[in-house]
Amino acid sequence: MDLQPERPAAETVFWDMKLATWVSHLLNPALVAWGLFGGLSPWGGWVEVGAGILFFGVLPGVILSYMRYRGRVPALYLPQREQRHGMLLWGSVWYGAGWALLWALDASGPLLAAGAVFGVNALAVWVINRWWKISIHATGVAGGAGMLHFFWGPGWASLVLALPLLAVMWARLRLQAHTPAQVVAGALLGVTSATALAAWAV
pLDDT of residue 34: 95
Over residues 92-97, the mean pLDDT reads 93
Q: φ and ψ at 100, to 5 degrees? A: -60, -35
Does the pLDDT at position 169 exceed 70?
yes
Confidence of residue 157 (pLDDT cuts 50, 70, 90): low
137 — pLDDT class (breaks 50, 70, 90): very high
Please determine, for residue 2, whether its predicted confidence score (pLDDT) is greater than 70. no
Burial of residue 90 (CB within 10 Å: 0-12, 13-18, 19+) is middle
Cα Rg of the chain (Å, integer): 18
pLDDT, residue 88, reads 87
Cα 8 to Cα 152: distance, rounded to the nearest angstrom: 45
- Among residues 185, 168, 176, the alpha carbon closest in space to that of 26 is found at 168
CA–CA separation, 148 and 59 (whole Å):
22
In angstroms, the CA 147 to CA 136 distance is 16
